[in-house]
Amino acid sequence: MKTIKVSSLSGSAEALPAGGNFDGVYYFDAAFSYMEQIVSRSKTILITDANIFQNHPQLFDGWQTIVLPAGEEHKQQATVDYIIGELIAKGADRSTFIVGVGGGVVTDISGYAAGIYMRGLKFGFIPTTILAMVDASIGGKNGVDVGIYKNLAGLIKQPEFLLFDYSLLQTLPADQWINGFAEVVKHACIKDADLFALLQKESIENFKADKIKLAALIEKNVQIKTTVVVNDEFEQGDRKLLNFGHTLGHAIENMYLLPHGHAVSIGMVAAAVISESINDFPAGETQKIRDLLEKYHLPTQFDFDKEKIWDVLKMDKKRAGNSMNFILLNKIGQAMIQPIAMNELENLIH
């Protein structure tokens, strides 16, 4: 049993609950350049995408770098094969360290490639989007999509470190701020009613304008997810709660080429409505969730082909035999895992 230490360059440190196979460090409010104090340039290869490389070319000067095309459509095995070819060309061996610099697609695929190359290299992440900072880069889930099926191939392997450089958010497009806040709302719905209340009082515009508020929000969400993960690394129990909104969300995301946060937002509203039917979740609370998502400019409804989506849902990793482990709400701030028979779920989806 190991402990994750949450560190900052100001010298403060906070120990999170022990559990799982963890020995990583989080560097909050750190400059990108601080990476030189963590890894050796000569033994490190960075993986990023074309957008990050074009927006921040100076950051990659002097570093061996693999640049990937940007976009979820490239989160496929073919891109991993390309990375492996580049690692071979650069002479990467088992002492090479990989650092994924980018959003959720980059961190997912970098961790996966590192995890399988020569049966496993050490790696770390520098997340560059809200979504990656509060969710995608945390917890060790690495992998790729298989066609329209989200994250169907992958592994769980933890990064050695996460470095949070908030200045990288300055070039983040407005739609990517919106995309990331879906996961912030999710954390509030399943684990923290006080966070939900804070979000009701604030707005994306407020967080963008106030660096102190933004840093506190990111660190709060990192702690929520990390606390869940360290106690259930391989998703045997409480970690399943993090899938709130993702069952339907993943099914529609790749089918309709939706941003991840938009798909999850739609999925959360659907899960809240299903909670009303199965778990006596008050309709008024569903409306609060819908109102909050709309306040953060996220969609709350979507017209999809129910038959096609059902065909995708049947292949979801959360299916166990004739039932699906669905995440429902008891109340805002408290979620539960509820197996739903597949025939019942099909009726609910329709």
Side chain identity at residue 263, one-letter code: A
Whether 4 shows a pLDDT value over 90: the answer reads no
**What single DSSP character describes residue 47?**
E
- Whether 200 shows a pLDDT value over 60: the answer reads yes
Residue type, 268: M
- pLDDT given for residue 21 in this prediction: 52
Query: For 326-342, what is each residue's pLDDT tens digit?
Result: 999 999 999 999 999 98
| DSSP H helical ranges for 192-326 | 193-201, 204-209, 211-231, 246-255, 260-279, 283-295, 306-313
Q: Higher pLDDT residue, 312 or 241? A: 241
* H or E element, residue 55: helix 50-55
Given a cut of 50, is residue 165 above it in pLDDT? yes
pLDDT at 178 over 50: yes
Residues 216-267: pLDDT tens digits?
999 999 999 999 998 888 888 899 999 999 999 999 998 999 999 999 999 9
Which contiguous run of DSSP H or E holds residue 329? strand 323-331
Higher pLDDT, 99 or 22: 99
pLDDT of residue 1: 26
> For residue 229, what pLDDT is reported?
92
The C-alpha atoms of residue 34 and residue 66 are separated, in whole angstroms, by 20
Hey, what are 83's tokens? 């990375």
Q: Is the pLDDT of residue 8 over 60?
A: no
What are the CA-CA distances from residue 66 to residues 90, 99, 210, 349 (Å)?
10, 10, 34, 42
**189 compared with 12, residue with greater pLDDT:** 189
What is the C-alpha separation between 116 and 112, in angstroms, rounded?
A: 6
CA 166 to CA 170: how far, in whole Å? 8
Residue 5 clears pLDDT 90, i.e. is over it: no
Collapsing DSSP states into helix, strand and coil, what is residue 320? strand
What single-letter DSSP state applies at residue 296? T
Confidence of residue 22 (pLDDT cuts 50, 70, 90): low
Q: How many residues does the chain have?
A: 350
At residue 10, the 3 state secondary structure works out as coil
Name the band, by pLDDT with cuts 50, 70 and 90, for residue 350.
confident
The three-state secondary structure class of 162 is strand
Cα–Cα separations (whole angstroms), residue 253 to 219, 238, 244, 260, 308: 27, 24, 15, 6, 13
Terminal C-alpha separation, the chain: 45
Q: Give the model confidence (pLDDT) of 83-100 as tens digits.
A: 999 999 999 999 999 999
Of the candidates 117, 114, 167, 179, the one whose C-alpha atom is nearest the C-alpha of residue 142 is: 114
C-beta separation of 83 from 68 below 8 A: yes
What's the pLDDT at 235?
85
What's the one-letter identity of residue 146? V
Average pLDDT of the chain is 92
Task: Check pLDDT > 80 for residue 213.
Answer: yes
Highest mean pLDDT among 28-37, 145-154, 289-298: 289-298
Judged by average pLDDT, the poorest of 18-22, 240-244, 294-298, 319-323 is 18-22
